[in-house]
Amino acid sequence: MKTKSLLGTASLALAIAAFSASAQAQIAIGHLADYSGGTSDVGTPYGQAVADTFAWINKSGGVGGKQLNLDTNDYGYQVPRAIALYKKWSAPDTKVAAIMGWGTADTEALTGFLAQDKIPDMSGSYAAALTDPEGTSGKAKAAPYNFFYGPTYSDALRAMLMWAADDWKAKGKGGKPKFVHMGANHPYPNAPKAAGEALAQELGFEVLPPLVFALTPGDYSAQCLSLKSSGANYAYLGNTAASNISVMKACKSAGIDIQFLGNVWGMDENAAKTAGDAADGVIFPLRTSVSWGGDAPGMKTVMEISKMSDPTGKVYRPVHYVAAVCSAMYMKEALDWAAKNGGATGENVAKGYYQKKDWVPAGMEGVCNPSTYTEKDHRGTMKVDLYRAKVTGATDGDLNDLMAKGTIKLEKVKTVELPRKPEWFGW
């Protein structure tokens, strides 16, 4: 009995040691996802892409011989839940090397903590306030551990307004075009509001009072009647696609002729399918060089990553999925650098973002737009690719078929290279 007992104790000790070694052999990553909250329409494909990418990285050998332990949580787009999760992720015994974040309100709420705890956050929020690592702009608090892939909400809106000013002239219309900002009274839709309205005035627009509509789908006939009576010509939709669809459909039914400008989360292939002809003509920014199935060497990698949750390879992935793959792959390479330069601590991972200029992650050539992050400026790019949603028929049926037939198209309109104006930094 005594021998068996000793053997049992030894086995238990070995099991604990093996578990401990296994835990140490993993790199912990936090992942905030919105699968059930106000932005779940776009949060779901984005979050799935993050999960798929990290699963694919692990299948391909991990980082520095270690597997990545991605702790995915649906926080329902609720700031208190994000803060509670952050407390777990920043605790000494469960501290993560980095976070794949999500919303503007929660990301901004965590910015100070991230800096204090030295944990980089690659968010799905592109608020310009997150791009000033040292706080030198005077417009935002220092955000040294905040990163994201793509142009800021403000820069994307600036590019769309420049296009709109040219569009107005090209149509030979006289007088001042009228611009209105639309969206929920919430940090995310409001993030580019002041920047957009300031440039609109500079460009000669008449800026109308903003129109508020909720982040959730609903009856927005009243907002469309307000648009009609105001004579607005260009309207920025600051919400995610689900509620924007409600506005576009209501305005189409009311016979309103207006050019909608969608934010980066405001339009995608699924939204065009749901909105039908109400989505035809919407201008919006695309973060990647190509969309799903596009002609680029890196699309092969994206397709392989997609198979982690769709082994058939038949599911059509919207623009948010492809952009999320890019975001996760940037983090992967920052982790790679950290692992080779002192270990995958948050501080080292953040330094990993500064190691390359005009950087496209390996295997993502032609998909991810080149990005450059410096210790003084976290605006990865000033290039904004503008696309137009085209809907030319009934949108019932499978999205793959609709895209293949060209019933729904994402048509490139213009690339705007914005200057790095000091007065636009952090705003």
Mean pLDDT of 377-400: 97
- Domains in the chain: how many in total? 2
Is 235 within a domain? yes
Q: Is 247 in the same domain as 197? A: yes
Confidence band of 60 (pLDDT split at 50, 70, 90): very high
Helices then strands, each counted (H, E), the chain: 14, 13
Mean pLDDT of 131-143: 96
Give the C-alpha distances (Å, rounded to integers) separating 238 from 205, 211, 278, 290.
18, 10, 17, 23
pTM above 0.75, yes or no: yes
> Which long-range CB contacts under 8 A does 411-414 form with residues at least 24 apart?
411/387, 412/286, 412/385, 412/386, 412/387, 413/163, 413/283, 413/386, 413/387, 413/388, 414/163, 414/385, 414/386
Confidence band of 25 (pLDDT split at 50, 70, 90): confident
**To the nearest whole percent, how much of the chain has pLDDT over 90?**
94
CB-neighbour burial class of residue 123 (10 A; exposed 0-12, middle 13-18, buried 19+): buried
Beta strand 206-207 with 178-183 is parallel
Is 186 within a domain? yes
Q: Is 100 in the same domain as 83? A: yes
The yes-or-no verdict on residue 4 having pLDDT over 80 is: no
Tell me, what's the pLDDT at 14? Answer: 45
Q: Is 211 in the same domain as 231? A: yes
Helix ranges, 254-363 (H): 269-275, 299-306, 319-340, 346-352
Is 217 within a domain? yes
Contact 352, 333 (CB under 8 A): yes
Quote the domain boundaries for residue 176: 153-287+383-424
Tell me, what's the pLDDT at 24? Answer: 53
Tell me, what's the pLDDT at 22? Answer: 45
Q: Is 189 in the same domain as 163? A: yes
Q: Is 229 in the same domain as 128? A: no
CATH number, domain of 144, equals 3.40.50.2300
Q: Is 74 in the same domain as 173? A: no
User: How many residues are listed for the chain in this entry?
Assistant: 427
Q: Is 301 in the same domain as 317? A: yes
Mean pLDDT of 45-61: 98
Is 360 within a domain? no
Is 211 within a domain? yes
| Digit-coded pLDDT (tens) for 176-189 | 999 999 999 999 99
Is 108 within a domain? yes
Q: Is 70 in the same domain as 196? A: no
| Digit-coded pLDDT (tens) for 97-106 | 999 999 999 9
Is 301 within a domain? yes
Confidence band of 153 (pLDDT split at 50, 70, 90): very high
Is 241 within a domain? yes
Q: Is 14 in the same domain as 139? A: yes
Mean pLDDT of 398-426: 96
| Digit-coded pLDDT (tens) for 250-276 | 999 999 999 999 999 999 999 999 999
